[in-house]
Structure 1
């Protein structure tokens, strides 16, 4: 029996639900990078990075190629970068809305009653 689309989407977003995975994807937006570069940029234990890279490989969000002794990771599709940019736009809008609400809340009480 096929998995419903909404369930597949939920699994997809769960995959993105880890800060190290998001950071890896962000770093790979600029092009392929060897593991050592990812490790120095993210500053996590090598075993943790390896574990998160394995999840990203299994879900086919990244590809891995071996160049000699080095493994180089890349985004599997430019759509991943598009998704990260969309998330940034959404977060920016959310924060902007929150700032507007916060400014309104900070107004003296007499001004707030006019709205």
Structure 2
């Protein structure tokens, strides 16, 4: 059996994630326990196949500490974690399945909740 991590809240600010964000934690959980990740709500945007955002410059300073959730999702996928997005979240943001990172699967609302008994642990990150 494996674990399930549910992520609903999207990016909450560079200070929070510069040190340790939910998907970075997910990589460690997967390494130790095995993991499927379910992205819901605004967090489905993490799974978009999109180019990296350009670096942010404030005055003469280039910020290099900003988080890259797509990279973390790709690392999780490449390590064998299951990556799921809820169809409701995609629809709410007007995103089609064709815009998702390779290997990301979609789930109907409540589909993974019905599978909770298959998981040893469920985390809400």
Task: Give the TM-score taking structure 2 as reference length.
Answer: 0.28
Bigger RCO of structures 1 and 2 (CA < 8 A, at least 6 apart): 2
Q: Which has the greater radius of gyration?
A: 1
Structure 1 or 2: more strand by fraction: 2
Structure 1 or 2: more helix by fraction: 1
Task: Give the TM-score taking structure 1 as reference length.
Answer: 0.30
